[in-house]
Amino acid sequence: MNFQINSFEEYQDAYKKSVENPEQFWGEIADHFFWKRKWNNVLNWNFTEPNIKWFEGGKLNITENCLDRHIYQNGDTPAIIWEPNDPTEAHRILTYKQLLAKVEQFANVLKNNNVRKGDRVCIYLPMVPELVIAILACARIGAIHSVVFGGFSAQSIADRINDAECKLVITADGGFRGPKVLELKSIVDDALMQCKSVEKVIVLTRSRTPVSMIKGRDVWWEDEIKKVETQDNPPCPAEEMDSEDPLFVLYTSGSTGKPKGVVHTTAGYMVYTGYTFSNVFQYQPGEVYFCTADIGWITGHSYIVYGPLSQGATSLMFEGVPTYPDAGRFWDIVEKYKVNILYTAPTAIRSLMAFGDSFIEGKDLSSLKKLGSVGEPINKEAWEWYHEKIGRGKAPITDTWWQTENGGILIAPLPGITPTIPSYAMLPLPGVQPCLMDENGNELEGNDVSGNLCIKFPWPGMLRTTWGDHERCRQTYFTAYKNMYFTGDGCYRSPEGYYRITGRVDDVLNVSGHRIGTAELENAINMHSDVVESAIVGYPHPVKGQGIYAYVIANHHIDAEGTRKDILQTVTRLIGAIAKPDIIQFVTDLPKTRSGKIMRRILRKIAEGELSSLGDTTTLQDPTVVEKIIEGAEKLRK
Ligand code: WTA
């Protein structure tokens, strides 16, 4: 599909055009997709409400773009290659033809179970092909999917189901993750005790973990498929959707207590993920592309499912973890399928690096042509290891910066075309207008400056709202700086004009590439009956990027070890194991200003062990608190 940039000059031309004439630019790109009816208006926007509409008046279905339109010429091309958790189990390949048939079939199952256009469907499945099938089946009939990552707890699922008022849940009996079995159905059962909106649960057989099926509510995936098969497996026509009809909701953590449902709509998201997939990975027909993310996160939505499939690519999905059965698993997969493009996260790279090079030795990685990184800043050492050991010094690395709210990649090198520097995301993609702002709301012009990263102009893949609460969307992203989208990230622009993301400037942590809101985590910890108050900060962690440091005031000090374990358990129950603090320090008081605000800056410095730069502590209610905390921190370190 012919919007791929082939040279630096083409990049510059495209960029210039996208800024000078964005409507013409995006209109021409959108022409490369299949529309049931063409749009009237490319763009209509303001950032004050905000009100953002792309391709208004257009009618389409994203699954026709991801499936049907590839059938005639590329029907036998593998769409999904699935590698199971256990390397001795058989892998699966679904061609475009087969995937379309399965999507239509399951879309009919959804209809049989009373799911209609606009209904919300919660998907809580392991990384199996049925996850992709379920997602696309929702999109086929215009139902809005809300995928919940398999590592979230029952409480988190319940919160997400209730917020979006999901009507149906799709899950599995259990899921395999490395040596563990996750009891997904049982977790869903716990969640549903609190969810009134759910009428039906469809359960896929995966792990053969015993489950209890509730009469009238729970049905087996396989039985439901049989019912539509006996109707001669009729096709399921694609529902005609408006460009701005919601495609999905995906919950993400922010600086306030409750995760928010980021809403992406149909046409803009499709155009943006397709365009960026093709360009950022320089995808060529026949290449095997392997993104190691979980589909429960935005990276999986955009760059395992929608982006690659809309471009007719072969997308490899992996059920397991990088270290099972050993730390060479990724490299075995690369060798087995002759993977050409690998897209993974710095945390995975750092952890594999720590296992040593013996797991790479003897593996044939010569198929790898392009490498990608996503989710958090990649440090120079990890970048170089990735480049040398995995890319054999040849495969260029694209360090892709973006967010759940962005829908797709915003700043990244085009491998082999634009320059790369370790730890830099480099240049904005066409259509993306980044700017750096100082604390007073002034734009920092010129180069060699650092500030808060904002985007000045809409791009098609951006969020439109947060589910059920548009005001929250406005407040979170569009009020910090007038007429701009605020990312929450800090950024440096080099003398050459290259962008380097320096990390979050708000109260959001990035732990192993996962976003954790400190307020959300504090709320969870405070639920524990022995906890009076808590404060969470991040600190540099060699593998996770950031570790979680919890300062906790507890009312029983007798059994610190026991309380610590209980707190970890509470967090696992309320959010999920991914949010468990790495360090818990019990304190008797927290450093607060006279108005009662916790001074996190000081807590951060203590957690980082940077005691020489604590800064001004004279505005504290009680400056001696700091000394006590430092003492405690030093004891913990020993
Ligand atoms: C961080 C993931 C540095 C950033 C796609 C952002 C990055 C947050 C990079 C979004 C990168 C993502 N370099 N930092 N290449 N990519 N981030 O919503 O802080 O899970 O705001 O989206 O991850 O995380 P999210």
Look up residue 36 and give its two tokens.
């049931």
Would you say the CB of residue 486 lies under 6 angstroms from ligand 1? no
Look up residue 361 and give its two tokens.
């030795």
Pairing of strands 144-147, 51-56: unpaired
Pairing of strands 370-374, 397-400: parallel
Closest CA to ligand 1's atom 22: 403
Distance CA 336, CA 166 (A): 39
Question: Tokens 């260029």 label which residue?
Answer: 396
| Residues of the chain scoring pLDDT < 70 | 1, 231-233, 556-558
Pocket test for ligand 1, best of 272, 280, 299, 501 (most atoms within 8 A of CB): 501
CA of 251 to the centre of ligand 1 (A): 15
Distance CA 441, CA 404 (A): 24
pLDDT at 614: 84
Look up residue 558 and give its two tokens.
């007798």
**Sign, CA torsion 316/170/163/522:** negative
Would you say the CB of residue 242 lies under 6 angstroms from ligand 1? no
pLDDT at 456: 97
Continuous segment of H or E residues that includes residue 354? helix 346-354
Distance CA 474, CA 91 (A): 45
Across 96-207, where does the E strand assignment appear? 120-124, 144-147, 168-172, 175-177, 180-182, 200-204
Q: Which atom of ligand 1 is nearest to the CA of 377?
A: 3
**DSSP code at position 426:** B
Continuous segment of H or E residues that includes residue 61? none
* 527 CB neighbour count, 10 Å cutoff: 14
CA of 620 to the centre of ligand 1 (A): 33
* 426 CB neighbour count, 10 Å cutoff: 22
Look up residue 633 and give its two tokens.
């921190």
CA of 465 to the centre of ligand 1 (A): 19
Q: Which atom of ligand 1 is nearest to the CA of 299?
A: 5
Count how many Cα atoms sit within 13 Å of the Cα of residue 2 in the half-sphere of its side chain.
2
Distance CA 304, CA 97 (A): 18
Q: Kindly give, in sequence order, each residue whose CB lies less than 8 Å from that of residue 75, ignoring residues fewer than 6 positions away.
A: 95, 96, 97
**Nearest Cα residue to 435 out of 47, 5, 43:** 47
- Exposure string (b/e) for 180-209, b if CB count within 10 Å is 16 or more? ebbbbbbbbbbbbeebebbebbbbbebbeb
Would you say the CB of residue 425 lies under 6 angstroms from ligand 1? yes
CA of 503 to the centre of ligand 1 (A): 8
Q: Is residue 538 within 8 Å of 506, Cβ to Cβ? A: no
CA of 442 to the centre of ligand 1 (A): 24
Closest CA to ligand 1's atom 3: 377
Distance CA 343, CA 312 (A): 17
Look up residue 81 and give its two tokens.
């290659």
CA of 376 to the centre of ligand 1 (A): 5
Q: DSSP 3-state assignment of 574?
A: helix
Q: Which atom of ligand 1 is nearest to the CA of 404?
A: 18
Pocket test for ligand 1, best of 502, 515, 578 (most atoms within 8 A of CB): 515
CB-neighbour burial class of residue 421 (10 A; exposed 0-12, middle 13-18, buried 19+)? middle
- Please report the domains of the chain, with CATH numbers, ordered by start residue: 95-242 (3.40.50.980), 508-637 (3.30.300.30)
CA of 38 to the centre of ligand 1 (A): 34
Pairing of strands 545-554, 583-586: parallel
Would you say the CB of residue 489 lies under 6 angstroms from ligand 1? yes
Write the DSSP string, 574-588: HTBGGG--SEEEE-S
* 214 CB neighbour count, 10 Å cutoff: 11
Count how many Cα atoms sit within 13 Å of the Cα of residue 193 in the half-sphere of its side chain.
8
CA of 352 to the centre of ligand 1 (A): 20
pLDDT at 255: 77
Distance CA 535, CA 533 (A): 7
Q: Which atom of ligand 1 is nearest to the CA of 400?
A: 15
Long-range contact pairs involving 473-476 (C-beta distance under 8 Å, separation at least 24): 473/50, 473/260, 474/48, 474/49, 474/50, 476/254, 476/255, 476/256, 476/260
Look up residue 588 and give its two tokens.
């008797």
CA of 264 to the centre of ligand 1 (A): 17
The 10s digit of each residue's pLDDT in 499-513 is 999 999 999 999 999
The 10s digit of each residue's pLDDT in 331-379 is 999 999 999 999 999 999 999 999 999 999 999 999 999 999 999 999 9
**Nearest Cα residue to 301 out of 374, 238, 242:** 374
Distance CA 400, CA 307 (A): 15
Residue 386 — φ and ψ, nearest 5°?
-60, -45
Q: Kindly give, in sequence order, each residue whose CB lies less than 8 Å from that of residue 264, ignoring residues fewer than 6 positions away.
A: 246, 247, 248, 250, 407, 461, 463, 464
pLDDT at 557: 64
pLDDT at 618: 81
CA of 20 to the centre of ligand 1 (A): 28
Vertex 376: Cα angle to 362 and 492 (nearest 5): 120
CA of 451 to the centre of ligand 1 (A): 16
pLDDT at 273: 98
Radius of gyration of the chain (CA): 24
Question: Tokens 């002034």 label which residue?
Answer: 442
Closest CA to ligand 1's atom 10: 403
Continuous segment of H or E residues that includes residue 19? helix 8-20
CB-neighbour burial class of residue 573 (10 A; exposed 0-12, middle 13-18, buried 19+)? middle
Pairing of strands 120-124, 144-147: parallel
CB-neighbour burial class of residue 73 (10 A; exposed 0-12, middle 13-18, buried 19+)? exposed
Q: Report the Cα–Cα distance between both ends of the chain, in Å, rounded.
A: 59
pLDDT at 295: 98
Alpha helical stretches, state H, 45-150: 62-63, 69-74, 96-112, 129-141
One-letter amino acid for residue 251 of the chain:
Y
One-letter amino acid for residue 423 of the chain:
S
pTM of the model: 0.96
Q: DSSP 3-state assignment of 484?
A: coil
User: Across the chain, which distance is largest between two alpha carbons, in Å?
Assistant: 77
Q: Kindly give, in sequence order, each residue whose CB lies less than 8 Å from that of residue 402, ignoring residues fewer than 6 positions away.
A: 374, 408, 409, 410, 411, 412
